[in-house]
Amino acid sequence: MRIYLKTPRLRGLLALNLAVSAAGTMQIVNTVVLVRSVLNLGEKEVALAFAAAGGGSMLIALLLPKVLERVSERPVMLLGGVMMALSLYLGWLSPSFAGLVGLWLLLGAGASLVMTPTGRLLKRSCQPEERPALFAAQFSLSHSCWLVTYPLAGWLGVNLGLTGTFALLGTVALAATGLAALIWHAHDPMALEHEHAAQSHTHLHYHDEHHQHEHEGWEGPEPHRHSHHHSPGSHGHVFVIDDHHSHWPS
């Protein structure tokens, strides 16, 4: 979580996770109510409505990898947030069943635009040995968003009605997407120029670009652990939060 919350692109991802949960809970919690109670349709239509969201998600998941070869993740994921908010705002129009299927198709596609590139962001935001922990942080933090929006969707549906629920959860999704755009700057290069203060510490390491120091002979084969010193200086390289980079450079 330390790496996650100190990396701007991942803080933006967390905001987009909130947008996904706001849209997803409306679809998951209230589809049965919309189809059975509002439209007076049956179980078959409930299944078709859920399938529309899943179909939109699957379609984007299949097509997006090719798109990401030419386009960076940020505009794609922000577009997904806008699409989810739009699908919820259009729920104000009290759509027919065909309209609801279209909204859920749009919602599922938007959610997939956010979720499909997530692994790429996590992989490039940490050292290889930190990936399991960072993926675990993504799981925990994203599910904390669902922990809030799941009961919220049900409570709003009971107390404000479905139109009000569409409006408020759409606003949550749109606000979260706007926050992501502010936190995650459009200029997001992999390599960053930055300065290092003098530092002495002990950790498991290889003799890479950060570890060029003398040994006494007892340290053993790499990777090994011993106290070592880093002189102050500045340089540029692919930047991630780790033992040598505790803060994102301004």
Which of 61-75, 151-165, 221-235 shows the lowest mean pLDDT across its residues? 221-235
- CA–CA gap between residue 179 and residue 11 (Å, rounded): 9
CB distance 60 to 116 below 8 Å: yes
Angle, CA 5 vertex, CA 3 and CA 11 arms, to 5°: 120
> Is residue 197 situated within a structural domain?
no
- Quick count: other Cβ atoms within 10 Å of Cβ 169? 30
pLDDT at 227 over 70: no
Angle, CA 54 vertex, CA 108 and CA 59 arms, to 5°: 75
Which pLDDT score, from 0 to 100, does residue 134 have?
A: 93
- CA–CA gap between residue 194 and residue 232 (Å, rounded): 11
**Domains identified in the chain, total number:** 1
CB distance 7 to 136 below 8 Å: no
CB distance 128 to 74 below 8 Å: no
CATH number at residue 115: 1.20.1250.20
Q: Per-residue pLDDT tens for 84-112?
A: 999 999 998 999 999 999 999 999 999 99
Which pLDDT score, from 0 to 100, does residue 235 have?
A: 47
Q: What is the pTM of this model?
A: 0.81
> Is residue 66 situated within a structural domain?
yes
Mean pLDDT of 166-188: 94
- Under the banding of pLDDT at 50, 70 and 90, the label for residue 243 is low
pLDDT at 196 over 60: no
Which pLDDT score, from 0 to 100, does residue 190 have?
A: 61
> Is residue 189 situated within a structural domain?
no
> Is residue 24 situated within a structural domain?
yes
- Under the banding of pLDDT at 50, 70 and 90, the label for residue 187 is confident
pLDDT at 183 over 70: yes
Cα–Cα distances (Å) from 248 to 5, 26, 93, 119, in that order, read: 10, 35, 44, 20
Residue 90 belongs to domain spanning? 2-183
Q: Closest by alpha carbon to 1, among 113, 138, 168?
A: 138
Mean pLDDT of 213-219: 62
More confident residue, 241 or 29: 29
pLDDT at 230 over 60: no
Residues forming a β-bridge with 192:
237
Cα–Cα distances (Å) from 16 to 4, 13, 76, 102, 249, in that order, read: 14, 5, 12, 22, 23
CB distance 106 to 205 below 8 Å: no
Residues forming a β-bridge with 185:
none
- Tokens representing residue 163 in the block: 């139109």
> Is residue 211 situated within a structural domain?
no
Mean pLDDT of 23-39: 96
Mean pLDDT of 22-48: 96
Mean pLDDT of 182-210: 67
> Is residue 217 situated within a structural domain?
no
> Is residue 213 situated within a structural domain?
no
For a pLDDT cut of 70, what percent of the chain falls above it?
77
- CA–CA gap between residue 48 and residue 52 (Å, rounded): 6
> Is residue 248 situated within a structural domain?
no
Which pLDDT score, from 0 to 100, does residue 128 have?
A: 84
- Quick count: other Cβ atoms within 10 Å of Cβ 223? 13
- Quick count: other Cβ atoms within 10 Å of Cβ 98? 8
